[in-house]
Structure 1
C-alpha cells in the first residue's frame, strides 16, 4: 500500500575535493557512519548517515574549485542543540565565530564548515 506522503527524505549531495577525507571528517568528527561508497579504496561518491539524516559526498576535480563556486549551507533540525554543541566542541570542527546562540527568529543554533567549506547549521525551535 502506498503512503499518502509524497516526499519521504532528501539526500543532499555535497561537492568535495577528497571523498575519503570527507568521509573521515563526517564519521570521526561529526558522529556519522558510512552508509555506502562506490569504491572501498578510492571512492568518488559516498553516503554518510546519522540517525535519519543521510548526506552524499561527490568528488569534484580540483580545477572546478578555482572559480569559487557557491557552497551550500545545510540546516539540520535536531532535538538538543546544547548536547550536540558540547559533543562537537571537543572535535576541533568549530571556526572562530562558532557559538551556541538564540536567534531573533526563535531558534537555538550553532554553525561551522566542513573540510570543503560547506556550511553546517544545527538548530532547534525555541
Structure 2
C-alpha cells in the first residue's frame, strides 16, 4: 500500500463559450444530470455527472476560440460500449466519421466532439 496520497477521482474542466448550452448538450444528448452550478440562472461554472463520472464546464470568452487553442480530449472507460453507442447514435451528436471500431491498441471505441470541440472518446478494452 502506498504511503503517499490516494487518487480517488478526477473532474476534468472543459472550456465552453456558453455554460447553459453546454449543460443542455451533456444533459439532453449525453444523459448526464446537473451536479452543481455557480448560478442556475446564468452559470459560468457548472458540473454534470453520470454514474461515477463528473465533468466541470467553465465559461471562456469567445476570443479564446479565435486563437486556435487546442481543446481537451477525454477518454471514458465504458461498460457495455455497444449499448452506449446505440443510445447516442440517434441523438445527433456523431460526426460523419464516428463509428464503433476496434483499434490496433486493443480497444473498442467511438468518438465525437461536444459543441465546443472538446473531444470525447468512449471505449472498453478488448
TM range (shorter): over 0.9
RMSD across aligned C-alpha pairs, in angstroms? 1.0
1:121 aligns with 2:116: no
Deviation per residue, 1:33-87 (Å, 9 max, x gap): 0000000110000000000000000000111111010011000000011100000
* TM-score normalised per structure 2: 0.95
C-alpha displacement of 1:5: 6.4
Map of 1:111 onto structure 2: 111
Moved over 3 A (4+): none
Residue segments in structure 1 that go unaligned for 5+ positions in a row: none
Map of 2:93 onto structure 1: 93
Map of 2:33 onto structure 1: 33
Deviation per residue, 1:93-117 (Å, 9 max, x gap): 0000000001111100000000000
Map of 1:10 onto structure 2: 10
Map of 2:24 onto structure 1: 24
Equivalenced residue count is 123
Residue segments in structure 2 that go unaligned for 5+ positions in a row: none
